[in-house]
Amino acid sequence: MKKFITVTIVLLTTLFTNAHEFWLQPKKYRYQINEEMKIDFMVGENFSGEFWDLHRYKAEEIELYGGGLVKDLSKDVKSTKGNNLFLKPGHAGTYLITLKSNDAYLEMEPAAFNDYLEDDGLDHILSERKKLNQLGKPSKEFYTRYAKLLVQVGERRDDTFRKMIGLRYEIVPDQNPYTLKTGDYLQCTIFFEGKPAPHALVKVWSKIKDTTFLQNIYTGKDGSIRFPISASGEWMVSSVRMIKSGKDGADYHSLWASLVFGI
């Protein structure tokens, strides 16, 4: 399957009505050994949005991977507006921070839900609603967030970046972003329940100064995408998968994955 790419430029002052990306936002992406790292939990679009409300939602699992070790950070999360996590890595290397949220609940009016399905490439759900004459039916949905953040401490790079955590929906880069430079390409694979996810819409966001660029790319049969690193700055790869709900109370369950890093 060909990977069609659409590029649009979005000013940071513009927010979509259905802004719903979720990501882990560090103050910067490269650190010295023992330098304090502060991370915000964010929801929005285009690297712009609001602090995640930890009084309404919950980070069920949050972990730090680095130096061959795994650390549970769930008790370190602060329910403040920003500065939700403080870290101070004591060794050089590439570090991976991961988060899994609780299952939240959402209801949407029919038109808004149909637009959301179209915008996020969830054509199979939209087609099913058309077939069943349900385009005028409001939605009832559970959703779960799966966020990953890669940061670099010191000069030593390692293969922590390729660690598969076992998240239900997960993005794994094939190269360490901190070995790349402008003009290189990065390949990522999208996994659903441990298997590559073909024909999934993936959004690649890059923040260059005050402007955010968006690329829409569909995964190939092997679940992978490949895109150029056009400039230095902040990068996010995100995707959503929607399935039938396995629990009472909702028709669907959406799984939101993101991966953030700096170039």
pLDDT in tens, 192-205: 999 999 999 999 99
Distance CA 170, CA 187 (A): 14
68 to each of 159, 192, 236, 259, how far by Cα in Å?
10, 24, 24, 20
pLDDT at residue number 19: 52
Among 222, 262, 259, CA closest to 239: 259
pLDDT at residue number 222: 97
Q: 209: which 2 tokens?
A: 């100064």
pLDDT at residue number 23: 97
- For residue 113, with 0-12 CB atoms within 10 Å meaning exposed, 13-18 middle and 19 or more buried, which class applies? buried
- In DSSP notation, 54-106 reads TTTS-EEEEEEEETTEEEE-GGG---SSS--EEE---S-EEEEEEEEE--EEE
Distance of CA 211 to the CA centre of its chain: 19
Q: Residue 216 is which amino acid?
A: N
Distance CA 187, CA 114 (A): 30
pLDDT at residue number 68: 85
CB 129 within 8 A of CB 118: no
Distance CA 159, CA 185 (A): 17
Q: Residue 20 is which amino acid?
A: H
Torsion angle of the four alpha carbons 32, 159, 258, 179, in this order, in degrees rounded to the nearest 10? 60
Residues forming a β-bridge with 62: 99
Q: 191: which 2 tokens?
A: 């996994």
Distance of CA 23 to the CA centre of its chain: 6
CB atoms within 10 A of CB 11: 10
- Structural element, H or E, at residue 223: none
Q: 4: which 2 tokens?
A: 């069609």
pLDDT band, very low/low/confident/very high, at 26 (cuts 50, 70, 90): very high
How high is the mean pLDDT of the chain?
91
Confidence check: pLDDT of 11 > 50: no
pLDDT at residue number 55: 84
pLDDT band, very low/low/confident/very high, at 5 (cuts 50, 70, 90): very low
201 to each of 27, 106, 253, 256, how far by Cα in Å?
28, 22, 17, 12
pLDDT in tens, 53-94: 988 889 999 999 998 889 999 999 999 999 999 999 999 999
